[in-house]
Each structure stands twice: as C-alpha cells, then as structure tokens.
Structure 1
Amino acid sequence: MKNNHAHNKLLFFSLKGKALPVLCLLLIVVALSAYTNTDPIIPTGEYKLVYPANFGNRINVPADNPTTQQGVYLGRLLFYEKKLSATNTISCGSCHQQSKAFTDGRALSMGINNQLATRNSMSLANLLWARKFFWDGRANGLEEQATFPLTNPHEMGQAIGVSVKKLSNTKLYPGLFKIVYGDSTITGERIVKAISQFERTLISANSRYDQYLSGYYKPTADELKGMELFNRGPDPEKGIRGANCTHCHGGPKTYLELFHNNGLDSVSKDEGMAEFTGLITDRGRFKVPTLRNIALTAPYMHDGRFKTLDEVIDHYSEHIKQSVSLSAFLQNESNITGGRSLKLLPKEKKQLIAFLNMLTDDTFITDKRFADPHLTTKN
C-alpha cells in the first residue's frame, strides 16, 4: 500500500503542470455527454396500430397521411401545443383531457378569452374507425376536422398562417417537421396531418367489458343483467324486457357511426345536421357517440344538458319527445304493452349503469403515450 501511494503521488506531481488542462477536458466531455443525453430520441418508422380483432379492420387512414412513429411524436406535441391558440393559453388537450377520456367535463367547451363553444366536447376514443366528425358530421376525416377548432373564434381562434409563423420561429419544430416530412417547411396541412396521426392512436380497448369478451373477467350479476338489457329490445307480449340500446350503440366498439334525433326536444334549438342539409327530417339530428368510457365523459348530449348517467337513462326511459325527425328506433319502444316509452324499472336502470361502468378503460386514461409531454425545451 505504501509503495502504491508513493507511486501515485509521484505520478501526480509528474503531471502537475498538465493536471488542470486534463481536468478541464474531462469536464467538457462530461458536459457534452450530459447535453447529448438530454436530447430526445425521435422514433421513426411505421407506427403499429394495435386493436382487438373484434373491432374490425374498416379503419380510416388516408393514403397521403400514413401513421408513422415520427408523425405521431410530432402530432402529440402539437396536440398539447398552446402556441396554436391566439392567446397561447389553450391547446387541443385543453378541451380533450386524457383523465376524462379526452373530453373536458363542461357542458360547453371553453375557448380563448373564456368564450363558450356552441356544443359539448366529444371523446376522442377510437377515432381510427370514424369517417364523419363533429356532432353534425360536417367534417369528412380527421384532417378536415382538426382545422375547425384551430381557427374557430370560439375555440383556439388563430389563423393557420399565424400558427405556421409561430412554430417556424421556434428552435424545436422546424427540425421535427424535417424528420417527419423530409424538409423543415411548416404548413397548415402538415400541422393537421400530424395531429390526426396522433389522434388515430387513441385506442381504448381494455375495459372490463373487453376483458369479459376475451374471457378474462367475470361480470357481477348486475353487470350481466345490465348487459342483457343493453343488448335487447323490449317485447312485452313475450315477456322480454330490454333497454333497446344496440340499434345505435351496438358492437364491441359501442359505436356504429349513426346520426339520430334522440328525442331531446319537440322543436330543437340546435338544428344539427339540418343546418347543412336543410331537411326537416334532419332537425335535431346528431352523431351517436361511442359509449366507451361513458362514465368519465359527463355531462352528456350535444349541449351537455344531462349531468349524470341516471339522467340520461331517465330520458330514454320516460322522456322521449316526439317530433317529425325522431329516430325510428325510439318510436313506440316500450316494456309495457301499448306504451310509448321504455318504462324501465328502477332496478333495471341501476343494472344498466353497472354495465356502462364496465366500459371504463383505466389504462386508456393513464397511458403515458397519450399524455401531455410537458415540453421543457426552450423554443
């Protein structure tokens, strides 16, 4: 030990004149290594969209906007980017919060300067299979849909050209756009394409209902009874009771992309699809939303008028309003012979809600791939 100590001491003094430069060099190398390690590693290549076989392969991915890992990465950043709003205070994620299955908990969404939107914020779950967007179906495809909230004065309220300029003046985005699109040019079309790519990855398919369909979950007695009610139409003459839900919410996705007047009003203040078609039969006709994570997406309906699932079921059970455009699926459906409304029993309503709670996907609302990336990069 003594000899080694002496040798080390001798070595130190023999390098005494060069010790400081060597230490400085080491510090520089360490600093550069630390800096390099903080740079994000951008994944590239095809993004594999994973979903259950029973969801079907009728997905909607445009040929000119294939889903890539780098595109989804950019789209996620843009989805949560507040620079895309006129006040730099809100993003797509403000009205579509992951903890609420990408809704916002408000009757009407709030845009810039606390302005209220005209309708309730819809869930973004499982848009991969959707073709028509918004409550009135006015947008054909996610790319077309994304443009509306970005520019709407009641929502993010900013011209696309301004958004392009803001992002172009950052250190972060030009390089990312080059990785995704081959060059650093930022355009409105590229912005909405990237956001759309991210939104297509928001797949919810791991609820207790999915686990039941896969044979990994045994429902409670109330959940099973609620499932039976959900899947059956009433036939009082045969003694069959049902809640008549699957005409609009059938299939494993609980979504059939239909548009119906669901009897909220005899004369609807919001014309729905009729605003575009001019048809009296489209008055008060709106998109039927998915029931995935429905327990998390209150309040309900296009105007958020119902605060709870109890109120929703009460509406379908006892309060359907007649009109010329009322869905044929809701006319004269009853558990009572000659009745004009469902007339579900209190116990049946609770059982139906027990089933609807099976549709909550806890992994969907906690998946880090969908979360706000919390950008800290100076841009």
Structure 2
Amino acid sequence: MRFFSLALLGGMSSLLLAGELESLGRQLFFDKRLSSDSSVSCAMCHRPDTAFADPNPTSRGVGGSRGAFNSPSLLNLQKATRFFWDGRASSLEEQAKGPLLNALEMGNEQKDLEMRLSLIPEYQLRFHRSFGDSTITLDRIVTAIAAYERTLKSTHSLYEEWRIGRRQQWTPEHEFGRQLFFGKAGCSHCHSGPNFTNGEMSSDGNGKSWKVPGLREVIYTAPYMHDGSIPSLTQLLDRHAGGILLNQLEKHAVIRFLETLSGDYSR
C-alpha cells in the first residue's frame, strides 16, 4: 500500500508540474512583453477568436512591420512533425523560436529576451515552479509555450457526431458534400486523417512546396493559403479542386461539409 501511495503521489506531482508548465506557457503566449517593443504577443497573430489563426493576410510584427506569410491555426498540432508553411521546423518548440527571434515578428535578440523576462518577479516565481529554479532561458520559454499549444484542440464537431452514428442533424446536403470531398472533388488526397491533413508538403506549381494545413475549424481561419491570398472557401475550391470543375450546387455542398468540421475548441 505504501508503494502504491508513493506512486500515486508521484503521478499527481507530475500532473501538477505539467499543469504549471501549461499555465506558464499560456501566460507567455498572451504577453506582449515577449516582443522587443512590448507591442506584439503570440496571440495577436494566432487569435483565439479565429481558431488561433490570423484573420489578416499577413501578420503584423514589431514596429508595424509585415511578414510574407499568413499565420495558420495552432489547433490539433500535438502529433504534427512539420511546422511553418515551408516545413522547416520539426517541433512546436523549434517553431516557437522562429517568431521570437525574427526581426519582422517579435524582434528579439535571445539574450535581451532572457534578461527582460528575468527582471519580472512573477516570471521568476513561475519558472521556478515549472522548472525547479528561476533561471529563464529561451529553451525554457519555448518549452512552456509549446506545452500550452499542445493543449489546443478542436472537438465535438458535427462530423464526429456523424462518425459515431448520431446523424439527426446530418442533412442530405452534408452527405453530398462529404461524398464530393472524398470523391469527385479530390480534397481528401491531401486533406486526410483525423485533422484533415496528410502533414506533407504540396507543390504550388511554381517550384515551391507548402505544408498542407488541417481543416478543423476551417470556417474561422480565413484568409487561406500561405500568403493569405484567398479570402473565401468558395474561391479556395475554385483553385484547389484538383482540376475538377464543381458547379455552384456542388461547391455549396462541399462548404456545408467543411462547416461540420467545426465544433468546440480550446481557448
């Protein structure tokens, strides 16, 4: 019994530490002090009200600068292995370093960021709780941010209800759209799996390849594409239906199906 109790206490301790780390990551995610001029937070480019994507074609950084890319949704990335539109990062931790140190985004030098946060008593305490001492490093910052980002999930969609046989709200138009998505329209060639992405890179026909984004909560994540150049799902279908021309009725049905991929998501 004593061994069981110690094991249980150890498990509870691990859960508490994980909760502290995720909570710290959430605070960092929403804190503008992570940018060099205290004007930009992670949450300003990955907005909770738009499924942690940016509703602007490209995101604003320090000093009003603009990058070249649209900030995609952060939902359901727990098992992803490619990050950034060009797939250059292999983990959420590696991805988080990019904006922090990018001159057009959060504009930091690593030592300046570490020093700035180290002078904040609340962060000294919170890093101590999460890591065992109050040392604040870039690696610890991104470890915490990534821990929070891994909690961001999309759940309880109408599509999930359909999958488990609860189909009272599933209309003939939803079903027509589903059949088109997995059939004639060819969407599922790239948008497959539980998060509706194969996680691979796809050529744009101009010599560049971009990561295939997931489609969970896609009705909230406009504009679309790496550069935010497509403002609506209708226009997206016109461009990405695998060369298949869909009539207006078919496009409307596919969009109705895409709507079923939205449900509840973390905030």
| TM beyond 0.5 | yes
Measured after TM superposition, the shift of residue 165 of structure 1 is: 1.1
Return the alpha-carbon distance in structure 1 between the equivalents of residues 115 and 69 of structure 2.
30
Return the alpha-carbon distance in structure 1 between the equivalents of residues 30 and 13 of structure 2.
20
**SS where residue 25 of structure 2 aligns?**
helix
Q: Which amino acid aligns with 1:222?
A: E
Contact 1:96 1:103 in 2 (8 A): yes
Measured after TM superposition, the shift of residue 199 of structure 1 is: 0.6
Match of 2:188 in 1: 246
User: Greater shift after overlay, 299-308 or 210-219?
Assistant: 210-219
User: Greater shift after overlay, 193-202 or 210-219?
Assistant: 210-219
Q: Which amino acid aligns with 1:199?
A: E
Contact 1:70 1:180 in 2 (8 A): yes
**SS where residue 70 of structure 1 aligns?**
helix
Contact 1:80 1:91 in 2 (8 A): yes
Match of 1:55 in 2: none
Across the aligned residues of Structure 1 and Structure 2, the Cα RMSD in angstroms comes to: 1.6
Contact 1:44 1:70 in 2 (8 A): no
Match of 1:256 in 2: 198
Decide whether aligned partners of structure 1 residues 217 and 87 sit closer, same or farther in structure 2, where only a CA change above 3 A counts. farther
User: Greater shift after overlay, 202-211 or 184-193?
Assistant: 202-211
Contact 1:100 1:296 in 2 (8 A): yes
Match of 2:174 among 223, 247, 251: 223
Higher Cα Rg: structure 1 or 2?
A: 1
Match of 2:37 in 1: 87
Gaps of 5+ in 2: 1-11
| Partner deviation per Cα, 1:156-202 (whole Å, 9 max, x = no partner) | 11112112111111120111111110011111110010001001111
Measured after TM superposition, the shift of residue 86 of structure 1 is: 1.0
Q: Which amino acid aligns with 1:244?
A: G
Is the counterpart of residue 206 in structure 1 residue 156 in structure 2? yes
TM-score of the superposition, structure 1-length normalised? 0.65
Q: Which amino acid aligns with 2:175?
A: L
Match of 2:106 in 1: 156
Match of 1:316 in 2: 240
Match of 2:6 in 1: none
Match of 1:355 in 2: 257
Within 5 Å, which residues of 2 pair with 1:1-379?
A: 45-46=14-15, 68-218=18-168, 219-232=170-183, 242-263=184-205, 268=206, 283-317=207-241, 330=242, 341-361=243-263, 363-364=264-265, 367=266, 370=267
**SS where residue 194 of structure 2 aligns?**
coil
Contact 1:299 1:305 in 2 (8 A): yes
User: Greater shift after overlay, 350-359 or 243-252?
Assistant: 243-252
Contact 1:81 1:91 in 2 (8 A): yes
Return the alpha-carbon distance in structure 1 between the equivalents of residues 135 and 262 of structure 2.
41
Measured after TM superposition, the shift of residue 262 of structure 1 is: 4.0
Contact 1:45 1:70 in 2 (8 A): no
Measured after TM superposition, the shift of residue 216 of structure 1 is: 3.1
Question: Where has structure 1 moved over 3 Å in runs of 4 or more?
Answer: none
Return the alpha-carbon distance in structure 2 between the equivalents of residues 210 and 294 of structure 1.
15
Gaps of 5+ in 1: 1-42, 48-66, 233-241, 269-282, 318-329, 331-340, 371-379
% identical aligned pairs: 39
**SS where residue 15 of structure 2 aligns?**
coil
Measured after TM superposition, the shift of residue 316 of structure 1 is: 2.4
TM-score of the superposition, structure 2-length normalised? 0.91
Measured after TM superposition, the shift of residue 223 of structure 1 is: 0.8
Q: Which amino acid aligns with 1:138?
A: R
